[in-house]
Amino acid sequence: MDMWLKEGQIENAAMTYKIKETLVRKKTEYQDLAIVDTYSFGRMLLLDGIVQTTIKDEYVYHEMIAHIPLFTHPNPKKVLVVGGGDGGAIREVLKHPSVEKAVLCEIDKEVINECKRFLPEISCALDDARCEIFVGDGIKYVHEHKNEFDVIIVDSTDPFGAAEGLFGGSFYKEIYDCLTEDGIFIAQTETPFYLPEVVKRVYNDANAVFPITKLFMAGIPTYPSGFWSFTVGSKKHDPETVDLSNSIDIDTKYYTKKLHKACFVLPKFVEDLTK
């Protein structure tokens, strides 16, 4: 008997995946967690029935959310990842030798535990000596750490339910205060095809707080529409014009120095969302 997973994150549209087996499914304190093995994308993490990451395409998301801000900042030493319990963003952050400390702030410890168990390719850097894991509320953590981090990555689930507070102007103001004087923040900010109003609202909220705010896109097959946005807020350094000629070379599958610049060139309908 064929088993199919149907993801219905977007109203009136769905993605379906043929699965080999369910590796784990449990109700945590915060959400329904499942890791399944699929034929097309390998092992896949789902939270509340929504695909978070897969073995086959995770590198796109994690490389772009980490390397755009870290290569923009001239000397990132302390990095905070809010959410991202799968560990993929931490893995990419720690490819940068300037990073002395990377804090993972994840509210659901079961995400960390099960990803270490079933997604070791993604979570492999969580045991790195430079990584500090804090299980707790990311909003509270940011509020309690002023002027501390060079880069903050908001690697959250979608802006519904428990993650809703991680999207919006009040949280971005807290992030601004948590950053050092030339700090940079980045967040995943949904799809302009299905949720243009969310993309526009989040961009405007960040733009009201940060002197430099830029939107860029990446292609992620397992996210609705496959066309995903990220928003960068920076106090001083422009990610679109930064000089990358002397930056180090790191092992990547998606990110390149040329792509760093090119990803900020937006289709008109996306560019219109930033006006």
Over its length of 275 residues, how does the chain's per-residue pLDDT go in tens digits? 689 999 888 888 899 999 999 999 999 999 999 999 999 999 999 999 999 999 999 999 999 999 999 999 999 999 999 999 999 999 999 999 999 999 999 999 999 999 999 999 999 999 999 999 999 999 999 999 999 999 999 998 655 554 455 556 689 999 999 999 999 999 999 999 999 999 999 999 999 999 999 999 999 999 999 999 999 999 999 999 999 998 999 999 999 999 999 999 999 999 999 99
pLDDT digits (tens, 9 = 90+) for 10-52: 888 899 999 999 999 999 999 999 999 999 999 999 999 999 9
Record: fold of 58-274:
Rossmann fold (3.40.50)
Answer yes or no: is 271 a known binding residue. no
Q: Is 150 annotated as a binding residue?
A: no
Residue 157 assigned to a binding site: yes
Give the pair of three-digit tokens for residue 42. Answer: 């390998």
Tens digits of per-residue pLDDT, 58-89? Answer: 999 999 999 999 999 999 999 999 999 999 99
Listed by start position, the domains of the chain span: 3-54, 58-274
Which positions are annotated as active-site residues?
A: 155
At the second CATH level, the architecture of 3-54 is Roll (2.30)
Q: Do domains 3-54 and 58-274 have the same CATH topology?
A: no
Per DSSP (E only), the strands in the chain are 3-7, 15-27, 32-38, 42-47, 50-54, 78-83, 101-106, 131-135, 149-155, 179-188, 212-219, 227-234
Q: Is the dihedral of CA 86, 263, 166, 37 positive or negative?
A: negative
DSSP 3-state of 147: coil
The answer to whether 62 is a known ligand-binding residue is: yes
Say what the pLDDT of residue 170 is.
86
Cβ contact 114:85 at 8 Å: no
